[in-house]
Chains A and B, each alone.
Chain A
C-alpha cells in the first residue's frame, strides 16, 4: 500500500466512475425506467398496507416506516445487477482492454461501485420527491442528507461488489440473471425494509441480522424517520467493514471473469 498505489487507485476510480456517469448523461432514459419500481412500492404497496395497520412500526406511520426500506431496495436492485454490466464488458472485449491498461484492479471495482452509488443517489432523489408528493414527513436537514448520501454510496458499493463476485463465478449472462433473480427478493424480505425484524420467525431474524441490507435500512430509517440515531455509528461501521472486505475480494476475483 504505497502512497503511489493509493493515489493511482483514487485517480483511476474517479476516471472510471466518471465514464459511467458520462454514459448516463448521453442516455438518461434508464433513470426514468428505474423510477417505476420504487414508485409502485410506495404508492401501491405502502398505501395499501397503511390502511390495514397490521404492522407494528413503533410510533411512526407505515409510509414513514417503509420509505427508507424502499429507497434501500431500489439502490440494492441497481447494484446487484452491476455484474451483468461486467459480463457485458467481458463479452465485448472492453474489460480485457481495461485489464491490460496500468489500472489497479481495485480501481476497476471502486469505479463501478462509485457509478452504482451515483445511480443510487438518483433513485434517492426520486424516492424523496415521491414521498413528498404523498405527504410522507421525513427529517431533511443538511446533516441527515449528507449522512444519507454516505450510506447510499456504501450500500450501493457493497452490493455492487457482491454482484461482481457472483459475475466472476458464474461468467455468463444467462446464469447471472438466474442468480440475480434468486437472491434479490430473499435479501429484501430477510431485512427490516418493509416490516420490523421483531415480527419475523426467529430463524429469519438470524438471517436478517446477517444481511447488510438491514443495516442500511436501519441507518437510513434512524436518519430520515425516527431521529433515534444511537445505533447509527454501529450500522455505518458494519457497512464500512463489509464494503471494504468485499472490495478487496472482488478486486481479486474480478479479473478472472476475463479469462
Chain B
C-alpha cells in the first residue's frame, strides 16, 4: 500500500446470479481527497459503495481502507468510516441531539464524552439552535446536515456519501457542500461521494471516477479528463463521451426509482 492511499480497491467484483454488477474494478483514493464516483443508475455505483462500507461481501477481489481488509477486518473498518445513505437516515421522531447521541454510543465513544461530541458536531454543522427540536420539523438541508453529523460523530477517516444533494434546492445544496468541504479542511477527512450530476463532480471533487455497466470507464482529475477532448470549454459529460465513445446506458428498476423519489419527497 502506498503511504498516501486511504482506500485501495483491487479487482473488486460482485455477481448476483448471472449478473455481474461490478466487474473487477481497481482504483485508489488518497488521504484527504474529495473523490467523486459517477455513473448512471445500474452502473454498479451503489453496489461498489455497499461493498466498501461492508454491507455487501465481494464475490472476488477486495479492498482495504486505512490498510484494513474489508472482509477480514470489517468491524475495524466500520470504526474508521462514516456513511450517509441517499435515503433519510435520521429518525424524525427523535431530536437532533438524541440522533447524534445514539450514534455516539453505537460507536463506543466513552460515555462522558458523548454529550460534548454531539454538541461539537451540532455547532460544526450550525444546528446548535435546533438541538432539541424533533427532526421531523427540519428542512431538507438541515436533515442532510444532521445525517452528515451522525456519520462523523466518531471522526471517521473516510466519509462515504450516496447522492448527498439529491432532492435538495440550490441553497441547501450549497450549504451542504460548504460543510462537507469544511470537514475535509478541519479534520482531513477523505470524502467519497456518488452522484448523477457531472457538474457537481466537476466543481467539488479533486478526482473523478466514472462507472459504466459494471466497469470503471474513466478516472482522473476533472481537468485531465476534459483536456483529453482537445476542446477548451469541454464539460465532464463530453469528456466521458469522448473517452468511452458511448453515452450512459439508462438503468434503474421500478423499486429503485420509487425509493429515491420517496426519499426526495420526504426531504423536499
Contacts A26-B94, A91-B262, A259-B56; is A97 near B78 (CB within 8 Å)?
A: no
Q: Judge if B91 is at the interface, Cβ distance under 8 Å.
A: yes
Q: Which chain A residues numbered 102 to 132 have a C-beta less than 8 Å away from chain B?
A: 102-103
Contact between A102 and B75, CB atoms less than 8 A apart? yes
Q: Judge if B22 is at the interface, Cβ distance under 8 Å.
A: no
Q: Which residues of A have CB within 8 Å of B105?
A: 11-12, 15
Q: Which residues of B have CB within 8 Å of A98?
A: 106
Contact between A93 and B87, CB atoms less than 8 A apart? yes
Within the assembled complex, what's the spacing in Å between the Cα atoms of A15 and B53? 22
Contact between B81 and A100, CB atoms less than 8 A apart? yes
- Of the candidates B81, B93, B151, the one whose C-beta lies within 8 Å of that of A27 is B93
Task: Indicate the size class of the contact surface on chain B.
Answer: 20 to 34
Least CB distance, B112 to chain A, in whole angstroms: 15
Within the assembled complex, what's the spacing in Å between the Cα atoms of A204 and B218? 65
Q: Which residues of B have CB within 8 Å of A22?
A: 94, 98
Least CB distance, A89 to chain B, in whole angstroms: 8
Contact between A103 and B106, CB atoms less than 8 A apart? yes
Q: Judge if B253 is at the interface, Cβ distance under 8 Å.
A: no
Contact between B55 and A100, CB atoms less than 8 A apart? yes
Q: Judge if A101 is at the interface, Cβ distance under 8 Å.
A: yes
Q: Which residues of A have CB within 8 Å of B91?
A: 19, 23, 94
Contact between B150 and A97, CB atoms less than 8 A apart? yes
- Of the candidates B50, B83, B93, B106, the one whose C-beta lies within 8 Å of that of A12 is B106
Contacts A100-B53, A100-B81, A259-B56; is A92 near B89 (CB within 8 Å)?
A: yes
Q: Which residues of A have CB within 8 Å of B56?
A: 259
- Of the candidates B79, B86, B94, B150, the one whose C-beta lies within 8 Å of that of A102 is B79
Q: Which chain A residues numbered 207 to 243 have a C-beta less than 8 Å away from chain B?
A: none
Within the assembled complex, what's the spacing in Å between the Cα atoms of A22 and B84? 23
Contact between B55 and A97, CB atoms less than 8 A apart? no
Least CB distance, A178 to chain B, in whole angstroms: 18
Within the assembled complex, what's the spacing in Å between the Cα atoms of A97 and B81? 11
Q: Judge if B107 is at the interface, Cβ distance under 8 Å.
A: yes
Q: Judge if B90 is at the interface, Cβ distance under 8 Å.
A: yes
Q: Which residues of A have CB within 8 Å of B94?
A: 19, 22-23, 26
- Of the candidates A15, A96, A102, A255, the one whose C-beta lies within 8 Å of that of B102 is A15
Q: Judge if A258 is at the interface, Cβ distance under 8 Å.
A: yes
Q: Which residues of A have CB within 8 Å of B85?
A: 93, 96-97
Within the assembled complex, what's the spacing in Å between the Cα atoms of A196 and B105? 47
Q: Judge if A99 is at the interface, Cβ distance under 8 Å.
A: yes
Q: Which chain A residues numbered 18 to 77 have a C-beta less than 8 Å away from chain B?
A: 19, 22-23, 26-27
Residue of A nearest to B99 (CB): A19
Q: Which residues of B have CB within 8 Å of A96?
A: 55, 83, 85, 87, 89
Contact with A along B65-100 (1 / 0, CB 8 A): 000000000010011010111111111011100100
Q: Which residues of A have CB within 8 Å of B150?
A: 97
Within the assembled complex, what's the spacing in Å between the Cα atoms of A220 and B262? 44
Contact with A along B102-129 (1 / 0, CB 8 A): 1101111000000000000000000000
Contact between A92 and B88, CB atoms less than 8 A apart? yes
Residue of A nearest to B83 (CB): A100
Q: Judge if B263 is at the interface, Cβ distance under 8 Å.
A: yes
Residue of B nearest to A23 (CB): B93
Residue of B nearest to A100 (CB): B83
Contacts A19-B98, A100-B55, A259-B56; is A94 near B90 (CB within 8 Å)?
A: yes
Within the assembled complex, what's the spacing in Å between the Cα atoms of A19 and B134? 14
Q: Judge if B54 is at the interface, Cβ distance under 8 Å.
A: yes
Contact between A26 and B134, CB atoms less than 8 A apart? yes
Residue of A nearest to B86 (CB): A93
Within the assembled complex, what's the spacing in Å between the Cα atoms of A254 and B239? 43
A-B pairs, top 5 by smallest CB distance, nearest first, are A93-B87, A93-B85, A93-B89, A97-B89, A100-B83
Q: Which residues of B approach A to under 8 Å, CB–CB?
A: 50, 53-56, 75, 78-79, 81, 83-91, 93-95, 98, 102-103, 105-108, 134, 150-151, 259, 262-263
Between A and B, 22 residue pairs with Cβ closer than 8 Å are: A12-B105, A12-B106, A22-B98, A23-B91, A23-B93, A26-B95, A91-B87, A91-B259, A93-B87, A96-B55, A96-B83, A96-B85, A97-B83, A97-B84, A97-B89, A97-B150, A97-B151, A100-B53, A100-B81, A101-B78, A258-B55, A259-B56
